[in-house]
Structure 1
Amino acid sequence: MSDPVLALEGVTKTYNKGKPNAVEVLRGVSCTVARGEVVALVAPSGAGKSTLLHIAGLLDTPDAGSVRIGGDDMVGLSDRRRTIVRRNDVGFVYQFHHLLPEFSALENIVLPQLARGVPRSEARLRALDLMARVGVEDRAGHRPATMSGGEQQRVAFCRALANGPRLLLADEPTGNLDPETSDTVFDTLMDLVRATGLSCLIATHNMALAARMDRVLRMDTGTLSDG
């Protein structure tokens, strides 16, 4: 059996460690995400899900435990190497789209590819292909402020997938949308994920959406359990 795309083992994290106001956020968390698997992460506010996603995506470091992406140990890597792995292997989607307002939708998807060294013409073609897959190709020249919330989040999906990552991490990706738009946008995301064989860890409060994923992990007081 091949290595899972993401594997966390015994991950702990405490903020303000050693101080009276120390907060133990993760308490020996372990989980895996297999190739092509879509896993829901369900947790109440303050339970540690954002910290878990940040550690899984190399935006933060654990106090103890291991983080492996594609079988490679990420703990102890230099900042430069962590940046390269984030850019090439990990895609992020947040509740708010965080698109660059001064650039068009197309440019927002092209820019991450240019940072990786992809030629502009190739980056533009990939961006247009991704936009066509999610039904926003006609918004390519529009800036985010002129687009609906659902359109902006679809562009954010495309940006997250622009560099062909192995792992997608999403933190309440439809949480800022009305229920009808949320369902439509989630359908779009799942179609895109299934078509690319991407591995995903998606945090959500929406149990109906969680039930449509391959597996559900529940987080409470810094620990994880199945179901």
Structure 2
Amino acid sequence: MSEVMLALRGVEKAYNRGQSNEVRVLNGADLEIAPGEMVALVAPSGAGKSTLLHIAGLLDTADTGAVQIGGTDMAGLSDRRRTVARRRDVGFVYQFHHLLPEFTALENIVLPQLANGVARDEAEMRAYDLLARVGVAERAGHRPSAMSGGEQQRVAFCRALANQPRLLLADEPTGNLDPGTSDQVFQALVELVRGTGLAALIATHNLELAAKMDRVLRLDNGTLVPG
């Protein structure tokens, strides 16, 4: 792989339950994802998918091993610099949209940009563009309560990409939707990723959706193996 956007090298993570009952979730996980590549992550519930995504996205730290984004090793950075890197380089999507209910779809996408120093006019133009790409531009002025579940999740995708990250991490992004809506929303996600060229790691239980991505990886006893 000539260029790597996300790399995990020998990542390990364990949790202590009680005084001596250690639960090892990740055990030497290795991963490389290139720009423009979509990788599916599949595993049973409780196998460590969310932990791996949180470590890759700098929301959690590994016990040992390296996390590199765009070739930069994140392990040696201060908390402040990790926060800056996470805000600048990483977009997150979860199973539930977590949109701010008192704001419109457009405002939910504009606000992260304003927090990142983008001028309002520019932020609104990007928000409209993203909404149009996923087919919900006409919902820009609606609050989440006035949108369907599929529409809410498409807006959540747009919000995740508002600050033009280089890496998208998604944790069961269609898990809360019916099968028909799930397919439509997933296609919108594919078009966003392909259109922006960012790297994407997407955890899913849906093996049909996983098969549509470039590669499938499976968590097996804390290590990543081809799915």
On whether the aligned pair clears a TM of 0.5, the verdict is yes
d(CA) in 2 for partners of 1:16, 1:84: 30
TM-score, normalised on structure 2?
0.97
Q: Which residue of 1 aligns with 2:173?
A: 173
Q: Which residue of 2 aligns with 1:217?
A: 217
Give the 3 Å change call, closer, same or farther, for CA 199–26 of structure 1 in structure 2: same
- Pairs aligned (count): 227
- Post-superposition shift, 1:195? 1.1
Q: Which residue of 2 aligns with 1:206?
A: 206
Residues 1:10 and 2:10 aligned together: yes
- 1:83 alignment partner, SS class: helix
- 1:66 alignment partner, SS class: strand
d(CA) in 2 for partners of 1:106, 1:174: 21
- 1:177 alignment partner, SS class: coil
Q: Which residue of 2 aligns with 1:75?
A: 75
Contact 1:48 1:221 survives alignment (8 Å) = no
- Post-superposition shift, 1:19? 2.8
Q: Which residue of 2 aligns with 1:149?
A: 149
d(CA) in 2 for partners of 1:209, 1:3: 25
C-alpha root-mean-square deviation of aligned residues, in Å? 1.2
Residues 1:61 and 2:61 aligned together: yes
- Post-superposition shift, 1:126? 0.4
- 2:155 alignment partner, SS class: helix
Residues 1:196 and 2:157 aligned together: no
Identity %: 75
- 2:21 alignment partner, SS class: coil
Deviation >3 Å, runs of 4+: none
Structure 2: tracts of 5 or more residues without a match: none
d(CA) in 2 for partners of 1:70, 1:2: 12
- 1:100 alignment partner, SS class: coil
User: Any idea what the Cα deviations from partners look like across 1:80-102, whole Å, max 9, x if unmatched?
Assistant: 11111111110100000011111
Matched letter for residue 67 of structure 1: V
Matched letter for residue 84 of structure 1: V
Q: Which residue of 1 aligns with 2:42?
A: 42
Give the 3 Å change call, closer, same or farther, for CA 164–110 of structure 1 in structure 2: same
Residues 1:111 and 2:111 aligned together: yes
d(CA) in 2 for partners of 1:82, 1:103: 28
- Post-superposition shift, 1:18? 8.8
Matched letter for residue 88 of structure 2: N
User: Any idea what the Cα deviations from partners look like across 1:148-184, whole Å, max 9, x if unmatched?
Assistant: 0000000000000111111000000000000000001
- Post-superposition shift, 1:191? 1.0
d(CA) in 1 for partners of 2:76, 2:176: 35
User: Any idea what the Cα deviations from partners look like across 1:41-94, whole Å, max 9, x if unmatched?
Assistant: 011001001000000000000000000000000013111111111111101000
- 2:83 alignment partner, SS class: helix
User: Any idea what the Cα deviations from partners look like across 1:8-42, whole Å, max 9, x if unmatched?
Assistant: 00000011289323211110111111111100001
